Structure 1
Amino acid sequence: MSNLRRNVLQCFKKLHRTRLKVFNGDQMALTAGRLKINEEFKKNKGVDNEEAIKAMIAFGEDVERELRTQIIQAKEIKPGVFEARITEDTLKLDNIPYDDNAIIEKGTGTPCCKSRPK
Structure 2
Amino acid sequence: MMTNVMSAAYPDLVAAASCYSGVAAGCLAGSPGSSPISADPTCANGQIALSDQAWAARARNMFPGYAGAYPRIQTLHGTADTLVRIPNLDQQLRQWAAVKGLSLTRNNTNTPQSGYTQI
TM-score range, shorter chain: under 0.3
Greater CA radius of gyration, 1 or 2? 1
TM-score under structure 2 length normalisation: 0.24
TM-score under structure 1 length normalisation: 0.24
* Larger helix share, 1 or 2: 1
